[in-house]
Amino acid sequence: MKEYKEGKELREKVSRKSQGEFIVRERKKTILELISESNEDRVPELIPIRHQRMSVSPFTFYRGTAGIMAHDLAMLPNTNLKVQAIGDCHLMNFGGFATPERTLVFDANDFDETLPASWEWDLKRLATSFALAARDNSYRESDVADMAYILTHSYRQHLFEYAQMNFLELWYTKFDFETLRRNAKFPETKQLLADAIDEADKESRDKIFYKFTTNTAGSFEIKDQPPLIYHPDDVKKHHEQIISFLDHYARTLLEDRRWLFEKYRVADVALKVVGVGSVGTRCYVVLLINDRYESLFLQVKEARASVLEPYTGKSLYSHNGQRVVEGQRLVQTASDIFLGWSTDAGGRQFYFRQLRDKKVSPAFANKDKVILAAYARICGKALARAHAKTGSAGMISGYMGKSDLIDHAIARFAIAYADQTEKDYEDFVKAIRQGKLPSAEEPVKKTKKA
């Protein structure tokens, strides 16, 4: 295969061994300065919550510092074989959700930072997340390295498989939970997947509706759950703002989905605090009701420039909401039918998706090695499919080769970068203790600006 041969030849320019190196020139800015820069233009009263979530452990700190890692990766050797990179590719950004056909599938599910970039950036970030998660669970250091190795080994093997597939069949490939459960090798993994399927099946629209709403004077409103979900002081302004850009959002939907969406009207709007890295960006929960008093929940999330952009170049799309949506559609097997984007009156860009559509989050904290290893294999498989769909699987596979040399190299990198993350985390926590960064225990002055 021509592409495979070209990939092998690329080893002369970028050796596979070099992928295990982590030697970065000294950063020009301190962790305090880098974190402060990443807080720019976030909602001020939410920044302490962001810091509190990042300060839980080196792993949660890592989740909030995709931009710092992008800076470090840009200084390292890379093949420059572009794929539609997930961008913030860590183990918590994979999970389960329902396809439009209502099948529960496993895939990547967070694309705030997606942009075309070299394939190894995603792989190295994902491998490091497994190393940090293993340390968080107090694994032996040899087992920590094993998790990164298992992830990379799965990625390499499946990428080779996908490079041989009919391209159309590759696009149809999906990982449904029921098949994953049947094929699981260990009882612990089978049970975990069975529990996830049960959890998703119980998450009916009615259950979500009554969990998130309250009936006030005959009308339904989103239930305040501070500090995670709450109504802003100027709720009327936010309500009007959402309505004002719904028309543009509707035009980004396919015609049949736009027809469906237009059956609903806005009933209430609330602010939502999401994730770790996203805390402080503007995010709304919108409750919509149709004439039959049936509900639709949308999450409206601010879309900022990708953290990869300074190192990979600007997106093809001038609208960051469109960048997120188009990247998600490229990578996923099937995407939410209500994915779309819009711009508010102040020029801020947003993207839309359904809230909690049978979403299954990976609850892998405090799990044993068998389960974490199984999760590493499926994440490696899912990432390989994503990269094979959007890049040259043949060239990447040729570069990686049939031996496990690259598997060991990426594992070495993961350990080295996990070490760096722990050092950065210590500096971050020290800055909080010294009062140089606000913490959740030291709230900043509340503002109505959002």
pLDDT tier, 185 (very low <50, low <70, confident <90, very high otherwise): confident
Query: Of all helices (H) and strands (E), which one includes residue 432?
Result: helix 405-433
pLDDT tier, 444 (very low <50, low <70, confident <90, very high otherwise): very low
Are 72 and 152 contained in the same domain? yes
Residue with tokens 């009936």: 215
Closest-CA residue to 56 (of 440, 414, 372)? 440
Are 40 and 76 contained in the same domain? yes
Are 131 and 65 contained in the same domain? yes
Gap between the Cα atoms of 274 and 299, Å rounded: 10
Mean pLDDT of 71-98: 93
Are 182 and 287 contained in the same domain? no
24 has a pLDDT exceeding 80? no
Which has the minimum average pLDDT: 215-219, 318-322, 420-424? Answer: 215-219
Are 192 and 235 contained in the same domain? no
Query: Of all helices (H) and strands (E), which one includes residue 358?
Result: none
Are 388 and 403 contained in the same domain? yes
Gap between the Cα atoms of 339 and 384, Å rounded: 24
Are 232 and 150 contained in the same domain? no
State pLDDT tens for residues 250-308.
999 999 999 999 999 999 999 888 878 888 889 999 999 999 988 899 999 999 999 99
pTM of the model: 0.92
* Vertex 281: Cα angle to 125 and 118 (nearest 5): 25
Gap between the Cα atoms of 87 and 303, Å rounded: 14
Query: How many domains is the chain built from?
Result: 2
19 has a pLDDT exceeding 50? yes
In a domain, 446, yes or no: no
Closest-CA residue to 129 (of 106, 114, 98, 108)? 108
User: What pLDDT, on a 0 to 100 scale, did the predictor assign at position 303?
Assistant: 96
List the structure tokens of 89: 């590719």
Axis crossing angle, helix 31-38 with helix 66-73, rounded to the nearest 10: 120
State pLDDT tens for residues 163-178.
999 999 999 999 988 8
In a domain, 16, yes or no: yes
Which has the minimum average pLDDT: 80-89, 98-107, 162-171? Answer: 98-107
pLDDT tier, 362 (very low <50, low <70, confident <90, very high otherwise): low
In a domain, 98, yes or no: no
User: What pLDDT, on a 0 to 100 scale, did the predictor assign at position 248?
Assistant: 93
In a domain, 341, yes or no: yes
Mean pLDDT of 55-78: 94
Gap between the Cα atoms of 173 and 331, Å rounded: 12
pLDDT tier, 443 (very low <50, low <70, confident <90, very high otherwise): very low
In a domain, 263, yes or no: yes
Range of the domain at 237: 205-354
Peptide bond into 227 cis (omega under 30): yes
Average model confidence (pLDDT) across the chain: 89
310 has a pLDDT exceeding 70? yes
357 has a pLDDT exceeding 70? no
* Domain end call among 319, 338, 354: 354
State pLDDT tens for residues 198-255.
877 766 566 677 677 887 766 788 888 887 888 877 777 777 778 888 989 999 999 9
Are 166 and 210 contained in the same domain? no
In a domain, 449, yes or no: no
159 has a pLDDT exceeding 90? yes
Residue 265's contacts (CB-CB under 8 Å, 6 or more residues apart) are 288, 289, 290
Are 38 and 181 contained in the same domain? yes
Are 342 and 225 contained in the same domain? yes
In a domain, 88, yes or no: no
Per the CB < 8 A criterion, the answer to whether 71 and 355 are in contact is no
pLDDT tier, 447 (very low <50, low <70, confident <90, very high otherwise): very low
In a domain, 325, yes or no: yes
pLDDT tier, 85 (very low <50, low <70, confident <90, very high otherwise): very high
List the structure tokens of 8: 């092998």
Contacts 24+ apart (CB under 8 A), 35-43: 35/65, 35/428, 35/431, 35/437, 36/437, 38/64, 38/65, 38/67, 39/280, 41/304, 42/279, 42/280, 42/281, 43/280, 43/281, 43/282, 43/449, 43/450
Are 316 and 366 contained in the same domain? no
* Domain end call among 323, 354, 385: 354
Are 13 and 133 contained in the same domain? yes
Helix (H, G, I), strand (E, B) or coil at 13: coil
